[in-house]
A and B are shown apart, each in its own frame.
Chain A
Amino acid sequence: MSSYLVRRLWQMVPILFGVSLGAFAFLQAVPGDPARLLAGPDATLQDVQLVRARLGLDRPLILRYVYFLRNALVGDFGRSFRSGEAVAAIVARHFGPTLLLSVASVVFATVTGLGVGLLQAVRRNTAPDYVSTVVSVAGISTPPFFLGLLLIYLLAVGLRWFPTGGMGTARSLVLPALTLGAGVAATIARFARSSLLEVLGEEFVRTARAKGLEERSVLLKHALRNALIPVVTMIGLQFGFLLSGAIVVETVFSWPGLGWLMVQSISFRDYPVLVAEILLFSLQFLVINLVVDLLYAGLDPRVAYG
């Protein structure tokens, strides 16, 4: 088990190295001159060249990458072109809000999604199933941008129950988490329903019922546990996407997370911040995939790692 973990962790190193190289090369290929963007359209060429020298962009690309690697290995990801702050500090500051929002959304989505999926599977082809199916399809198809603004105008401007945006008290978390979680909840519900229905048709369920187990126990202990494996994979994947910063929701709710930072950094061609963000997102996916694989072992005794 632990040797498996160590092996998996080691495998991440070459992947992250490749990602850093790819990110570096890719950003250079994107049109846009950070020095001109930072200096502004009304800066003279002289001002632009001063800025370029300050950013170190007057050095050759290879040299810049070598410097980057050398510093990154000791945890120094350079300084933001835009603000001059240490990149590690900037990314760390925006990671907290995104993690908080992602966890809140996933918790909300998992609880709602599993609950609805369970209900749908049990009451298959009845009114509650049809109604909640329509609602979850609507949930998947509603653009978060629209849902977010709808919630803001109904619950924040109209009823004034929640702030319109920004990150402050716990109340400020509710609307963005709902908006972000709605689509995920609907997806989980659809997945849970079909997965449960499949499992409920299997022989071991019939056996469990035949030996006189209560329906409740059959459902929760036997069926649900087996139905969860694809659902957990899906939740893990969704969590990974959420952790990369929900650009639209973070923008609508002025939530200072990684998605917000990404948009800002792209518009300024803030290469150091962008490279660090891309690396972080890759790392997050690698870690989540690992956690999901380990969760399988917990859910399914047949799965073991050595």
Chain B
Amino acid sequence: MKKSVSGLLVVGVALALLSIGPGQTPVRAQAKTATVALYADAVTLDPYDTNDNLSLSVERTVYDGLVGFTPDMKVKPQLATSWEASPDARVFTFHLRRGVKFHDGTAFSAEAVKINFDRVRDPGQKLRRYSLYEMIDSITVVDESTVRFTLRKPFGAMLYNFAHPAGRIISPAAIAKGGAFLARNPVGTGPFKFVSWAPGREIVLERNPEFWEAGQPRVDRIVFKFIPEDASRVAMLLSGEAQFAFPVTGVQADAVAKTPDVSLDARWSIYAYYVALHTQRGPFRNMAVRQALNYAIDKNAIVKVVLRGYGRALDAPMAPGVANYTQVQAGGWPYDVVKAKALLSEAGFPNGFPTVLWLGNATETQRLGEAIQQMLAQVGVKVELQPMEAGTLSAVRFKPIEDNLSQANLAGWSPSTGDADWALRPLLGGGTWPPTLFNLAFYKNAKVDELLADALGTADETRRAKDYAEASRIVWGEAPWIFLYNSQNLAGVRAGTTGVYALGDGTVDVREATLTGK
């Protein structure tokens, strides 16, 4: 009896040891490997079915888009060398790079572009990024290196949708193998080729010697490691096991900055944080109340205490890094408790009122909630904090207005296209109340909707910028939100590593990774 039990254990241990075995092939000593520690595993490597920043970060390394983003989120050429848009923003023509090959050896062409976008805009494919491209009516292969998109309706932000990291060009030969294959086996034209993916552990990529850009890539291998625990991720950077770690939390920032051979890389994100106030119900229907709350919050104190200085007060309904942003009020809504109290008295709430704030349950989020709670208490508004786990929070937030019990919601948003349209329309457009999108304030203003529609109807960037500036001013004054702050992305980098950085949207770009010295 005892024998068989110990036998069972031996078999178990042996099996477990076997599972640990493969995937450990040592790399050539002189090969340059950049190890990048990130906070979660990728979900899929099919860009058109991706909505998480981790998957997008890996996809960006293997794939190219027609256009991409620079580190400060400006549109730049990739597989398209130049492009034109018709004045009514309905026809977009791209001139493509010649002589580019996919990692499987097949040639990149206008036909490949057509196959990719025909796939995503087919609702039968049920891809998660369908909405980004569903407005495409037809795609014409003009010649081998020219492709033309015609939209069903004008869409002025279309170039940003093409630059969106989901809009990558996959080898048609790989597409032919089906969605399940693509999710695990990315085949693109990017600087690195896919080698392996051990779920929960790492994704390994190797250099593409035939990459189209001269002098790139500069390292032999990229290894993405997935380290969910913040302190463990930083430990990996400090011990030298990783060259780059993202994100570093505000609490760890000082320790990272002080360690020799490691530096803190702080870059402006395009995240805007705010408290959405339910504008259709209760005290927040009154604009004066909403304005009072904006006066009552000391944004600079929040930046200093909660963000340890790595942020700045919002001065418009979107972050300054968003394309077509215009500043509305320098320094944000002024902090003025006296004015806040006066406005509340005028509105009929001289002694304030109780309200409930929904928020996430991450430590930093809760600390932010407590700061808001304390500041609003100064003007008599008694805030009850209701932190919730992400899935629950999402479920209660996305209920339609008749079932939606929200009063105030602490939220953050980064427009994944990098453009003002996606910073305003999903959050403040009259047609985007839950469950459709994320307009948690249930805000609706006919003039704002008109401006948003006008901006989408033109490819004239000057006119678009003017529309968004005007819409921003209206929103700012009517205060459907308490406008809080725009944060910085914090990453840790080891000395000798360059070309790896977190973009404003929270994805990571390692395409130009360079290692010098050790």
Chosen A-B contacts, 20 in total, with CB atoms closer than 8 Å, are A32-B392, A42-B51, A42-B413, A42-B438, A43-B51, A44-B437, A46-B134, A54-B126, A99-B15, A100-B20, A103-B9, A103-B16, A149-B231, A164-B235, A165-B227, A168-B24, A254-B227, A267-B391, A291-B5, A295-B1
Query: In this complex, what residue of A is CB-closest to B40?
Result: A264
| Complex Cα spacing A198 to B20, Å | 43
Q: Chain B, 1-38, contact with A by CB distance < 8 Å: what is the 0/1 string?
A: 11001001100110111111000100000000000000
B390 within 8 A of A: yes
Is the beta-carbon distance between B24 and A165 smaller than 8 angstroms? no
Given A39-B128, A43-B51, A251-B229: A164 touches B183 (CB 8 Å cut-off): no
Does A31 lie within 8 Å of B392, measured CB to CB? yes
Tell me if A15 counts as interface (CB < 8 A to partner B). Answer: no
The distance in angstroms between the C-alpha atoms of A51 and B44, with both chains bound, is 14
Identity of the chain A residue whose Cβ is nearest the Cβ of B392 in the assembled complex = A31
Chain A residues 7 to 48 lying within 8 A of chain B, measured CB to CB, are 30-33, 36-48
Looking at the complex, which of B154-162, B211-219, B236-244 is the stretch in contact with chain A?
Answer: B236-244
Q: Would A156 and B13 count as touching, CB distance under 8 A?
A: no
The answer to the question of B481 belonging to the interface, with a C-beta cut-off of 8 Å to chain A, is no
Within 8 A of B (CB), among A70-108: 82-85, 90, 93-94, 96-97, 99-100, 103
Q: Do the beta carbons of A41 and B394 come within 8 Å of each other?
A: yes
Does B152 reach chain A (CB closer than 8 Å)? Answer: no
Asked whether any CB of chain A lies closer than 8 Å to the CB of B41, the reply is yes
Alpha-carbon gap, A263 to B438, bound state (A): 25
Query: B291 to nearest A CB, angstroms?
Result: 27
Q: Which residues of B contact A99 (CB under 8 A)?
A: 12-13, 15-16
Q: Give the distance to chain A from B44, nearest Cβ to Cβ, in Å.
A: 6
CB-CB under 8 A for A156 and B438, given A36-B398, A100-B16, A168-B24: no
Residues on the A chain within 8 Å of B225, using CB: 166, 254
Is residue A111 contacting chain B, with contact meaning CB distance below 8 A? no
Which residues of the partner chain A approach B12 to less than 8 Å between Cβ atoms? 99, 103
Shortest C-beta distance, A291 to chain B (Å), equals: 6
Q: Which one of A33, A103, A152, A166 contacts B394 once the chains associate, using CB atoms below 8 Å? A: A33
Residue of B12, B179, B391, B435 ringed by the most chain A CB atoms within 10 A: B391
Q: Does B226 contact A (CB under 8 A)?
A: yes
- Residue pairs across A and B with CB atoms within 8 Å: the count is 175
Given A43-B128, A47-B128, A298-B1, CB of A164 within 8 Å of CB of B16 = no
* Residues of chain A with a CB closer than 8 A to B51's CB: 38-40, 42-43
Of the candidates A32, A36, A157, which one forms a contact with B239 in the assembled complex, judged by CB atoms under 8 Å apart? A157
Interface status of A153 (Cβ within 8 A of chain B):
yes
Chain B residue contacts of A97, Cβ below 8 A: 16, 19-20
Which residues of B have CB within 8 Å of A82?
A: 43
- A residues sitting closer than 8 Å to B (CB atoms) are 30-33, 36-48, 50-51, 53-54, 82-85, 90, 93-94, 96-97, 99-100, 103, 149, 152-153, 156-157, 160, 163-170, 251-254, 256, 260-261, 263-264, 266-269, 291, 294-295, 297-298
Q: Which residues of B contact A170 (CB under 8 A)?
A: 20
Contacting pair A46 B16 (CB below 8 A):
no
Interface centre among B12, B44, B126, B200 (most CB of A within 10 A): B200
| Inter-chain contacts of B228 with A (CB < 8 A) | 251, 254, 260, 263
Bits for B142-176, please: 1 = Cβ < 8 Å to A, else 0.
00000000000000000000000000000000000
Give Cα distance in the complex from A160 to B229, angstroms: 19
The answer for the CA separation of A264 and B436 in the assembled complex, in Å, is 26
Q: Which B residues lie within 8 Å of A294 (CB)?
A: 1, 5
| B349 interface residue per 8 A CB criterion | no
Contact between chains at B436 and A45 (CB < 8 Å): yes
A253 neighbours in B (Cβ, 8 Å): 232
Given contacts A84-B183, A253-B232, A254-B229, contact A36 B394 (CB under 8 A): yes
B352 to chain A, nearest CB (A): 30
A163 to B132, CA, bound (A): 42
- For residue B59, give the distance in angstroms from its CB to the closest CB of chain A: 15
Confirm or deny: B201 has a beta carbon within 8 angstroms of a beta carbon on chain A.
Answer: yes
Partner of B200, one of A157, A160, A261, A291: A261
Interface status of B65 (Cβ within 8 A of chain A): no
- Assembly CA distance A297 to B9 (angstroms): 18
Residue B324 interfacial (CB < 8 Å): no
* In contact, B200 and A50 (Cβ under 8 angstroms): no
CA of A163 to CA of B396, assembled, Å? 41
Taking the closest CB of chain A, its distance from the CB of B507, in whole angstroms, is: 14
Q: How far is the CA of A97 from the CA of B489 in the complex (A)?
A: 33
The answer to whether residues A256 and B239 also contact, given A43-B131, A44-B437, A84-B183 and a CB cut-off of 8 A, is: no
Q: With a CB–CB cut-off of 8 A, which chain B residues contact A256?
A: 198-201
Q: Are B436 and A160 in contact (CB under 8 A)?
A: no
User: With an 8 A cutoff between CB atoms, is B470 at the interface?
Assistant: no
CB distance from B120 to the nearest CB of A (A): 11
Q: Does B422 contact A (CB under 8 A)?
A: yes
- Whether B180 is near chain A, meaning CB under 8 Å from some CB there, is yes
Measured between C-beta atoms, what is the minimum distance from A274 to chain B in Å? Answer: 12
Chain B residue contacts of A157, Cβ below 8 A? 235, 238-239
A261 proximity list for chain B (CB < 8 A): 200
- B395 within 8 A of partner (CB): yes
- Is A100 touching B13 in the complex (CB atoms < 8 A)? yes
Complex contact A42–B183 (CB within 8 A): no
Q: Would you call B141 an interface residue if the criterion is a C-beta within 8 Å of the partner chain's C-beta atoms?
A: no
Q: Of B1, B8, B126, B435, which contacts A51 at CB under 8 A?
A: B126
> Which residues of the other chain, A, contact B232 by a CB distance below 8 angstroms?
149, 152, 164-165, 251-254
8 closest cross-chain pairs (CB), A and B: A256-B200, A32-B391, A96-B19, A100-B16, A40-B51, A54-B126, A31-B395, A164-B235
Given contacts A42-B422, A94-B200, A254-B226, contact A165 B5 (CB under 8 A): no
- Flag if B200 contacts A96 (CB, 8 Å): no
Chain A residues, Cβ within 8 Å of B2 = 295, 298
- Contacting A at CB under 8 A, from B236-267, are 236, 238-241
Instruction: Say yes or no: B199 contacts A93, CB within 8 Å.
Output: yes
**Which residues of B lie under 8 Å from residue A90 when comparing CB positions?**
199
| A291–B225 CA distance with the chains assembled, in angstroms | 38
Q: Does B348 contact A (CB under 8 A)?
A: no
B72 within 8 A of A: no
B239 touches A164 (CB 8 A): yes
B436 in contact with A266 (CB, 8 Å): no
Asked whether A152 lies within 8 Å of B235 as measured between CB atoms, the reply is yes
Q: Is the CB of A164 within 8 A of B436?
A: no
Complex: chain A residue closest to B396, CB-CB: A31
Given contacts A45-B436, A298-B5, 5 further A-B contacts (CB under 8 A): A50-B128, A99-B13, A103-B13, A163-B241, A268-B391
B357 to chain A, nearest CB (A): 18
Q: Complex formed: what's the CA distance from A298 to B6 in Å?
A: 12
- Docked complex Cα distance between A236 and B484 (Å): 53
- Distance, CA A160 to CA B238, complexed state (A): 10
Per the bound structure, the CA–CA distance linking A44 and B123 in Å amounts to 13
